[in-house]
Amino acid sequence: MSLTITPATSALKISSQFDSGNIHVLETTNPQDIQLSIRRDNQSDFFQWFHFRVQGAKNQPLNLRLVNAGEAAYVDGWPDYRAVASYDRETWFRVETLFEPAKGELVIQHTPAQNSIYFAYFAPYSWEQHLDLIGQAQQSPLCEVHDIGTTLDGHDLNLLKVSQHNPASDSAKAKQQIWVTARQHPGESMAEWCAEGFIARLLDQDDALAQSILDMADIYIVPNMNPDGSIRGHLRTNACGANLNREWESPTLERSPEVLAVRTLMQKTGVDLFLDLHGDEALPCNFIAGQEGAPHLPEAVLQQENRFKQNLAQVNPDFQLERGYPPGKFGPETFTIAAFWVGREFNCPSMTLEMPFKDYDNRPDADFGWSPERSIKLGESLLNPIYRWLQLKNSD
């Protein structure tokens, strides 16, 4: 018996009840004038992340209006931005997107070739992908998975410790302790894509550079610092509306257990080098924000950070040195931020790597823009400046 689909059941439908979904549907009657709004983070005024599904629009030109975009957290992020779309949730391509500042609206225009399509602010990195990443990493003899806490929504906070014991190369010097965290801001999903690349190369036992790093250092990685916000479809905060990257001076179990758990463990292991992976809404480039401008920053630490940036630029042309945040940008918030708190606490190089939501304008890609794949490759490239830093540390 064949199934006949009536027009009523094949009408255009928009939904977001899935991992990291975020949209309010206001009007869908006319495909050329679909009206949507982005939901705010819980107990917060932050919003910019969106992720939703459109069904029943095959071969129909769509005009999707995000009517509250002009009130978003980072309005400077909309000019020259293009949304991503996917049919299979694996390949995410860029689609025509316009920001109309006079109306305060972001307009996404696309004609789907298939009956089901997803749109998002950036390619999502789902909780299931995160669990797969943890599970796959654990299969390496170099990697241990540690449960270091529970979030406010009851999700696990996991840490990967990557290390090896090689008697033939162990030296009298103690190993360096290197920490990498990602996705304090959950909507910055490129951070976990980058962490995936970093982890994969670090665990590659055929990669001589990775193995040399592990001869000199133990690596601690938290691939997703904010599981609750990631699953809820937040831009910047956890379940209770706390911006984790403003909680480092005085985290609490009630408000920011994620930061408290990581900070407590750092104080046990010590930190010799710290990298925090993020995304930036406005700047169309990859850059590192170090501790320049922080009070009492030792010159030796500043030199190490500058050398790290230069070494990364030498191995990956997707990274640049000319643009970034001005020194002193964060003012009184400075030491509530992970990189500044860690740098002061441990007197070490401590840096924030920022990737774009937009395309990288020096090496644009008309089809995909800045993408998960390029984020992964940038993560792989981080091993090169880490190796150079370790060589210099061991020669002191």
Query: For 264-275, how does the pLDDT look when each residue is reduced to its tens digit (9 = 90+)?
Result: 999 999 999 999
pLDDT at residue 3 in the model: 63
- Map residue 267 onto helix, strand or coil: helix
Concatenated DSSP letters of 279-309: EESS-SSBEEE-STT-TT--HHHHHHHHHHH
Q: Is it the case that residue 333 has pLDDT exceeding 50? A: yes
Q: Where are the domains of the chain?
A: 13-120, 127-395
Percent of the chain clearing pLDDT 70 (strictly above): 96
pLDDT at res. 165: 80
Tokens of 84: 């991503």
pLDDT, mean over the chain: 96
pLDDT computed for residue 214 by the predictor:
98
Of 216, 190, 346, 331, the residue nearest 274 (C-alpha): 346
Q: Which of 100, 354, 373, 380 is catalytic?
A: 354
Model confidence at 8, in pLDDT bands (50, 70, 90)? very low
What is the assigned CATH class of domain 127-395? alpha beta
CATH class of 13-120: mainly beta
What tokens appear for 207 in the block? 């990669």
Q: Give the per-residue pLDDT at 69.
A: 98
| For range 324-341, the mean pLDDT | 96
- Rounded distance between C-alpha atoms, residue 384 and residue 213, angstroms: 9
Q: What is the pLDDT of residue 143?
A: 98
Do the Cβ atoms of 371 and 190 come closer than 8 Å? no
Residue 105 designated active-site = no
| Banded pLDDT at 251 (limits 50, 70, 90) | very high
Phi/psi of residue 27, nearest 5 degrees: -155, 125
- Give the mean pLDDT of 323-330: 96
